[in-house]
Chain A
Amino acid sequence: MAKKLIALNINGQKHDLSVEERELLIHTLRENLGLKGAHIGCDTTHCGACTVDLDGKSVKSCTMFTVQAEGASITTIEGLAGPDGTLHALQDSFRDAHGLQCGFCTPGMLMRADRLLKENPNPTDEEIRWGISGNLCRCTGYQNIVKAIHQAADTINALEAAE
């Protein structure tokens, strides 16, 4: 199968890759680059377990060919914590509020929640519920996820106000 050379910026690092044109971004991330945080949960773009941040948008990486991402800047769950390892407010709040159980949806859910809070720093319950409706969770019933996202919003907003 013919391969194509492309460049991607992932979690702040440039990668030059040679990929098959039909290769999905999720497989490049997981199998080529060893970034296994994003998961595969369906074949139809419904579950959102594979969500990553691509050029400032939440993208389901199972429904995008890697070649379509040429030149893009991508953040995965592995890049959510600070460079010094300080956890993101969402990573803390999901644990505090018991916003995860099996952990399979969590990386995608966190990446989506991060983008949601960048789009809307003070979301209502309803805005959060709509905002994460592309990410399915089978364990939590979402209630504690909503709570965790509120808690992270408060933390982030308080930090920004202090700055």
Chain B
Amino acid sequence: MNDQTPVKTDDRTEKLEGIGCKRKRVEDVRFTQGKGNYVDDINLPGMLFGDFARSPYGHARIKNINKDPALAVEGVLAVLTAEDIIPLNLHYMPTLAGDVQAVLAHEKVLFQNQEVAFIVATDRYAAADGVEALEVEYEELVPVVDALKAMDADAPVLREDIVDKTEGAHGPRKHHNHIFTWEAGDAETTKAAFDSADVVVKEYLAHPRVHPCPLETCGSVADMNKITGQLTLWGTFQAPHIVRTVASLITTIPEHKIRVISPDIGGGFGNKVGVYPGYVMSIVASIVTGKPVKWVEDRMENLSTTAFARDYHITAELAATKDGKILAMRSHVIADHGAFDACADPTKYPAGMYHICTGAYDIPTAYVEVEGVYTNKAPGGVSYRCSFRVTEAVYTIERMVEILAQKLDMDPVELRKKNLIQPEQFPYKSAMGWEYDSGDYPTALAKAMEAVDYDGLRKQQAEQLEEFKVGKTREIMGIGSCFFTEIVGAGPSKSCDILGIAMFDSCEIRVHPTGAAIARLGTISQGQGHATTFAQILATETGIPADMITIEEGDTDTAPYGLGTYGSRSTPVAGAAAARAGRKIRHKAQLIASHLLEVHHNDLEWDVDGFQVKGNPDQRKSMKELAWAAYNNVPPGMEMGLEAVDYYDPPNFTFPYGAYFCVAKINVDTGETKIERFYALDDCGTRINPMIIEGQIHGGLTEAFAVAMGQIIEYDDNGNVMGASLMDFFLPTAVETPVWETDYTEVPSPHHPIGAKGVGESPHVGGVPAFSNAINDAFAKLGGVHTHMPHTAARVWAHAQDLGLGKS
């Protein structure tokens, strides 16, 4: 029953709107009419509003809090501080990374805008007045803002609450600001390869702190019903079931008394994976006041407190032969995790899947070491539109390949070709221990090179450079290439869990007597179009038209337990569960058909939307007829009804890949960059809905463009967060955003029930290095080796100046 359903192309198949069709999205009907239901749209009778008073300092001792002026504000009902919630043992909450995070600051604040008090009022204006009126006295302390100095002997102690803790969640701590040291690969063989190599390149690559910044910020509404003891919590949760489990663990409310609902979510991109103090405080405030309490952060709070991404300080090395065969890869990272380790990674991987950093290349040996440190910055460390730390990993290898090519005076794409894993090597065991499931990299690269006329582009670039050198133009041209391999679909229970819960996912389907159905999954869409695409998978698998299948997610009272949507895991994991649940439905339907047609079930064959007798297609029962029969005429001994559930534990990750090219022109006098062309070829395996895939790629590339060209969350020496608003934090408008060309190859994943690999994050992962490589490539023939992201006009101009390219 686990055979893949053949996709046919006839009228009946078309009517199903199953796998492979550009089905229009069912979600859009309500969104285009302003009828979405996002968390801030929830309005309950008597609902109160909570708002945080936040620390103005990056590192300070709290000397005194005077609540009275806040309590005197009209409409303010309660002011909650750490002192108030210590008796409930709620002033710290567990993080997904095995640390604790202050819900409200106790004695000390550790980052600017940290939550200090929660003001509960009748409406958001009164709450804001209360925040302004609250009086807090601080004594400023010296902050740690440079991650590279966090473990200096004389660095201030940040986490007094764990200063005596010598054992962290991931091994021994060697310094008061040290969180973990984590390694992968083989240090000794890698060292030996480096020691004897012809050529070694080494570079420092900063991957700056950025933020996913979905258009909707985070928020929650908590409603504690004191009579029934039931807590209902609506919120911007990418993983509602985990939120329910965490809420139960920290509040001691039994899990069956907690209902978590993710309503429509206005974009996530990793921002909405974590558990934030606002969620906890809305619950506490609802318990204290007996009324529903809403908390919704504003944009500044969003950018400066919930879920930063990246902040990896990477040193990377490649060893190679003179003719460009890569022999070894090595990387050391200082990971700035901020004031609390609240990274959202599977438990065993404190640096996520950073060890996918050997990329698409056959590299015999490799070694990485990542050291996590505390600084006076916001906690987070989420995966911003990528699987866990995969953008960091791909950036590392794809910059280093270019740097090696420059050193060898080789074309970077030639160098890539020479080192790509070959089709016959799959399943391929990487030096880091991953088993890449499938791929045909050379074909993808060749197709991409042809599409952009790579050789033609290089000629054009050389001509442009000549003109620049003789003073005919002030513009230089860069060609950014990238060949990436992602690792998504976390994940197999043998290696992946969150808080001890394996990273499976689930689908439950119930077929009604008339042949319509409802399916519920453990994931939650934030714009990916699950209600559309999961119905397509089920349509192909069950023969029920997609329009007759309702998809529901996000309500923990009705949906089966799942680990949620992030890291491109919905299609690889929940999509697999959907396919398998559909096959269970079909299996039962086959037995019913055998009973109705009075033939052995092995004499029946599936045909698009029903079973027919082999060799006699006139004798058939459609799924619609079989659904009806399931409620009145089943074989003796069979249970009535037509329902199935599947919990899918993937045997492996999936490994989408792609070949990207970016053509940029840079004006060396202004530092401004024009992206003249961007071509993205993706292989995400079986394509469920090409329209949605293309939309995902457009969006991911745009976020990659933002990260590479403009985004950064900086802190000054005093720990002040710089530019935590859309005045400063770069979100591209339609004007700057390039036009995207998309293309694909299709190598199905051999272990996924329908061969799909996931796609939402590939364009971000591959896009970031493609842009950065384009900028660096433009300067490569003019003496440049590496310049850090973001490639803003000011930074690019400064780089040109450093290389002596300014007007004399």
Check if A42 sits within 8 Å of B299, measured CB to CB. yes
What does the 1/0 interface line of B515-533 toward A look like (CB < 8 Å)? Answer: 0000000000011110000
A25 adjacent to chain B (CB < 8 Å): no
Q: Are A95 and B24 within 8 A (Cβ)?
A: yes
Chain A residues 17-68 with CB under 8 Å of chain B are 20, 22-23, 27, 30-31, 34-44, 46-47, 49
Q: A31-B43, A101-B695 are in contact. Are A20 and B125 (CB under 8 A)?
A: yes
Could you tell me if A136 and B740 are in contact, using CB atoms closer than 8 angstroms?
no
Residue pair B694, A98 in contact (C-beta under 8 Å): yes
In the complex, B381 has a CB within 8 A of chain A: no
| C-alpha gap A47/B215 in the complex (Å) | 8
What are the residues of chain B within 8 A of A34 when measuring CB–CB? 43
- Give the contacts of B82-130 with A (CB-CB under 8 A): 123-125
Question: Do the beta carbons of B734 and A104 come within 8 Å of each other?
Answer: no
Q: Does A153 contact B (CB under 8 A)?
A: no
A141 contacts which of B217, B527, B701, B725 (Cβ < 8 Å)? B701
A40:B40 contact, CB within 8 angstroms? yes
Interface 1/0 per residue, B719-734 and A, CB below 8 Å: 0000001110001011
Q: Is the CB of B33 within 8 A of A140?
A: no
Whether B215 contacts A102 by the Cβ 8 Å rule is yes
Q: Which residue of B lies closest to A22 (CB)?
A: B125
Query: Are A139 and B699 in contact (CB-based, < 8 A)?
Result: yes
B735 interface residue, CB < 8 Å from A?
yes
Secondary structure class of chain B's binding surface, majority of residues: loop
Residues of B within 8 A of A135 (CB): 734
Known: A46-B731, A95-B24, A146-B734. A102 touches B526 (CB 8 A): yes
The answer to whether A103 and B36 touch (CB under 8 A), given A95-B25, A139-B527, is yes
Q: Does A117 contact B (CB under 8 A)?
A: no
> Which chain A residue shows the least CB distance to B32?
A91
Do the beta carbons of A96 and B737 come within 8 Å of each other?
no
Cα–Cα, bound, A126→B31 (Å): 26
B299 touches A141 (CB 8 A): no
Identify which of A41, A144, A145 gathers the most chain B CB atoms within 10 Å of its CB. A41
Distance of A94 Cα from B737 Cα, bound (Å): 19
A13 to chain B, nearest CB (A): 16
Binary interface encoding of chain B residues 258-274 relative to chain A, with 1 for a CB under 8 A from any of its CBs, else 0: 00000011110100000
Query: Residues of A contacting B694 with CB < 8 Å?
Result: 98
Do B702 and A46 touch (CB < 8 A)?
A: no
Q: How large is the interface on A (under 10, 10 to 19, 20 to 34, 35 or more residues)?
A: 35 or more
C-beta contact mask, A1-26 vs B, less than 8 Å → 1, else 0?
Answer: 10000000000000000001011000
Q: Which among A41, A95, A128 is the interface contact of B32 at CB below 8 angstroms?
A: A95
Count how many chain B residues have C-beta atoms less than 8 Å from C-beta atoms of the other chain: 57
B213, B527, B737: the one contacting A103 at CB < 8 Å is B527
CB-defined contacts of B40 to chain A, threshold 8 Å: 30, 36, 39-40
- The answer to whether A94 touches B32, judged by C-beta atoms less than 8 angstroms apart, is yes
Are A140's CB and B695's CB within 8 A? yes
Interface check A70, CB cutoff 8 A? no
Q: Smallest Cβ distance from B294 to chain A, in angstroms?
A: 11
Contact of A100 among B28, B701, B737 (CB under 8 A): B28
Q: Is the Cβ of B725 less than 8 Å from the Cβ of A42? A: yes
The reply to whether B28 and A138 form a contact with Cβ atoms under 8 Å apart is: no
B29 cross-chain contacts in A, Cβ below 8 A: 95
How distant is A128 from chain B, measured CB to nearest CB, in Å?
Answer: 7
The reply to whether the CB of B300 lies closer than 8 angstroms to some CB of chain A is yes
B740 touches A130 (CB 8 A): no
Q: Is residue B414 contacting chain A, with contact meaning CB distance below 8 A?
A: no
When distances are taken between beta carbons in the complex, the residues of chain B under 8 Å from A119 are none
B216 and A44 contact, CB distance less than 8 A:
no
Instruction: Tell me which residues across on chain A come within 8 A of B28, comparing CB atoms.
Output: 94-95, 100, 103
**Are B739 and A143 interface neighbours, CB within 8 A?**
yes
Q: Is the CB of A142 within 8 A of B216?
A: no
Instruction: Knowing A42-B299, A138-B731, A144-B698, say if A107 contacts B74 (CB, 8 Å).
Output: no
Interchain CB contact under 8 A, B216 and A39 = yes
A77 touches B527 (CB 8 A): no
Give the Cβ gap from A73 to chain B, nearest Cβ, in Å. 18
Residues on the A chain within 8 Å of B74, using CB: 1
CA distance A106 to B691 in the complex (A): 18
Smallest distance from the beta carbon of A14 to chain B beta carbons, Å? 20
B42 and chain A: residue at smallest CB distance: A36
Docked complex Cα distance between A49 and B698 (Å) = 20
Given contacts A105-B215, A136-B733, contact A100 B31 (CB under 8 A): yes
Residue pair B267, A145 in contact (C-beta under 8 Å): no
Residues of B within 8 A of A81 (CB): 33
Contact A101 B24 (CB under 8 A): no
- Residues on the A chain within 8 Å of B138, using CB: none
Task: Report yes or no: B25 in contact with A43, Cβ–Cβ below 8 A.
Answer: no
Interface string of B677-712 (1 = CB under 8 A from A): 000000000000001101100111111000000000
A96 to B28, CA, bound (A): 9
Docked-complex contact A138 and B726, CB < 8 angstroms? no
Query: What 1/0 mask marks residues of chain B from 23 to 47 whose CB sits below 8 Å from any chain A CB?
Result: 0110111111111101011010000
B266 pairs with A104, CB closer than 8 A: yes
Given known pairs A101-B527, A101-B695, A102-B526, the reply for A87 and B702 (CB within 8 Å) is no
Query: Sorted from nearest, which 4 A-B pairs have the closest CB atoms?
Result: A37-B34, A102-B527, A104-B266, A103-B31
Given contacts A30-B40, A37-B35, A129-B734, could you give 10 more A-B pairs where the C-beta distance is less than 8 Å?
Answer: A1-B125, A20-B125, A81-B33, A95-B28, A102-B264, A138-B702, A140-B698, A141-B737, A142-B702, A142-B733
Q: List 14 A-B contacts (CB under 8 A).
A: A1-B74, A36-B40, A39-B38, A43-B298, A47-B731, A87-B32, A96-B24, A98-B691, A102-B526, A104-B267, A106-B31, A129-B737, A134-B733, A135-B734
B residues at A contact (CB < 8 Å): 24-25, 27-36, 38, 40-41, 43, 74, 123-125, 213-217, 264-267, 269, 298-300, 526-529, 691-692, 694-695, 698-703, 725-727, 731, 733-735, 737, 739-740
